[in-house]
Amino acid sequence: MQRSTATRALSRPTRRTEKEAMIFFDDIDVGTRTEHGSVTVTREEIIDFATKYDPQPFHLSDEAAAMTPFGKIAASGWNTCALTMRVLVDSWKEQQAMGLGSPGLDELRWLKPVYPGDTLHVASEVVEKKPSRSKPHIGSMWSDILVTNQHGELVLKFRSIVMMLRKTAGAPQLDA
């Protein structure tokens, strides 16, 4: 997996305390778009993933794939999801986002095949957010995750639900 560095959606002054550098639920607005980074898919990675987790012939062999609408070996959709998750997590770690996990995702769609050599670009856009009523230190955020290839074609999309730590309204205080 070849990765490029993530770009930040939120800029921060260089002289801030550790707590101020972290990104909390309260720091993100609906409509915020983030370019998280990219990854180039290799043939070896496609075959390795398929061998372990999705051993359908068109993920393992050019000959088998030639007899399908793919025409050549293609990545498993789950492989594409795993690569996307890695780019997202690396970006969140770099941004010091205060994520607390996810109860799931909705509307998962694999729209185009991913082939060896494709470079996938991962972006997100916040579409809704709500503070928790029962746990005032947590908020939930819904984001559309959009993955495009090097030609700008949308290959994967889904709606992610992420729980994040709040810095206000009863959130535990972190020492700076």
Q: Which residue has the tokens 């700008």?
A: 152
Beta bridge partners of 117: none
Burial class (CB in 10 A: 0-12, 13-18, 19+), 79: buried
Whether the model pTM is above 0.75: yes
- pLDDT at residue 99, rounded to an integer: 82
pLDDT tens for 70-81 read: 999 999 999 999
Residues 133-152: what's their mean pLDDT? 95
- Statement: residue 16 has pLDDT above 70: no
Share the mean pLDDT of the chain: 86
pLDDT for the residue 2: 47
H or E element in which residue 86 lies: helix 77-95
103 three-class SS: coil
Q: Give the residue, 100 or 147, on which the prediction is more confident.
A: 147
| Contact between residue 149 and residue 120 where contact means Cβ atoms under 8 Å apart | yes
Please list, in sequence order, all residues whose beta carbon lies within 8 angstroms of the beta carbon of residue 82, skipping any fewer than 6 positions away.
49
Q: Closest Cα partner for 115 from 158, 79, 64, 63?
A: 79
Q: Name the pLDDT band for 82 (thresholds 50, 70, 90).
A: very high
| pLDDT for res 97 | 83
Q: Residue 148 — pLDDT band, cuts 50, 70, 90?
A: very high
Counting every residue written for the chain, the total comes to 176
Q: How high is the pLDDT of residue 23?
A: 87
**Across residues 28-45, what is the average pLDDT?**
95
Q: What is the arrangement of strands in the sheet containing 33-40, beginning at the earlier edge strand?
A: 2-4, 33-40, 119-131, 138-148, 154-165, 104-110
| Residue 166 DSSP class | -
Residue 129 host element (H or E): strand 119-131
Q: Is the dihedral of CA 105, 111, 112, 117 positive or negative?
A: negative
